[in-house]
Structure 1
């Protein structure tokens, strides 16, 4: 994969996880939530899927207490932030594990800070992993290093899975090209 790796994953390297203050500051209905998620996270739609999340998935997250229920069927930027985090972590972790991790982060840090840190770390890990560089974690300046290390490792394992999936997609594409050119 050598030098073509950077160009192969250029879209991933350009990814920007929307920070809390960049999320819509008005309440949204379910279809609008799905559109916002797809707009920001389209690069990470699972193979064979057409959306990052479905209505059923979101309803299940509410039912299982992963995110709190919408008010009058409207979702806030807090819901969007939770759903963005869940959309990544669900690639590797169970709903129970995600729920525990989110609860722990919320008792350790204010919501906006925890979410923005997640975005910073996610971008750092994507950059490092997709360019084969060492990860330079976003520095933590507070006393709860366990919470910081926990989220760093959760993000790293998620990014590793994304990397392997994207790379395997490229391997499959190359195999098909080779078969077509030899026929």
Structure 2
């Protein structure tokens, strides 16, 4: 199979991924190990870096997410961890948190999260994304964030496939 066919197959598989909307997230409290397993199950199939308990503890320490209540994580925590997991490879954690805060100033967290997931799923499936009329600054920010996730995933996969087919020649120093 040629590289382009393999890449197209990868894109088709990526389009089959389905991230849960807010109401599909666990609506009961989870302990750390349950959160890690749940989030990693979702993002692992996308080829993203898996989360660890240490990462989640750092998110709490640096106020990227709220502290758990009696060591239990709720829907809001899980949604935040998912969004951070999707965006952390392209943006620093403080920028992600700032963006989430800005978006949720104008939308409830549930609406903002659901819209982000809808945009991401549509982009992965190469479907049109909403209305092409004048968009709000919130909408633009969410679309750019989604585009960054998809672009990063595609770039890494293309590079991985290219590296499989051959290594570039090393550059030799020319004597002057």
8 Å CA contact 1:89–1:98 kept in 2: the answer is yes
Based on CA coordinates, which of the two structures has the bigger radius of gyration? 2
Query: Quick one: distance in 2 between partners of 1:153 and 1:136?
Result: 15
Segments of 5+ residues of structure 1 without an aligned counterpart are 129-134, 177-183
Q: CA deviation at 1:175?
A: 2.8
Q: Report the number of matched residues.
A: 165
User: Among 154, 158, 162, which residue is 1:167 paired with?
Assistant: 158
**TM-score, normalised relative to structure 2:** 0.85
Query: Quick one: distance in 1 between partners of 2:146 and 2:81?
Result: 15
**TM-score, normalised relative to structure 1:** 0.82
The aligned residue for residue 172 of structure 2 is none
Query: Quick one: distance in 1 between partners of 2:34 and 2:124?
Result: 27
Q: Taking structure 1 as reference, are residues 102 and 149 closer, same or farther at Cα in structure 2, changes over 3 Å only? A: same
Query: Quick one: distance in 2 between partners of 1:139 and 1:79?
Result: 30
Q: CA deviation at 1:137?
A: 1.6
The aligned residue for residue 106 of structure 1 is 104
User: Among 118, 121, 128, which residue is 1:120 paired with?
Assistant: 118
Query: Quick one: distance in 2 between partners of 1:139 and 1:34?
Result: 35
Over the aligned positions, Cα root-mean-square deviation in angstroms equals 2.1
Query: Quick one: distance in 1 between partners of 2:131 and 2:22?
Result: 19
8 Å CA contact 2:47–2:153 kept in 1: the answer is no
Query: Quick one: distance in 2 between partners of 1:162 and 1:76?
Result: 28
8 Å CA contact 2:120–2:146 kept in 1: the answer is yes
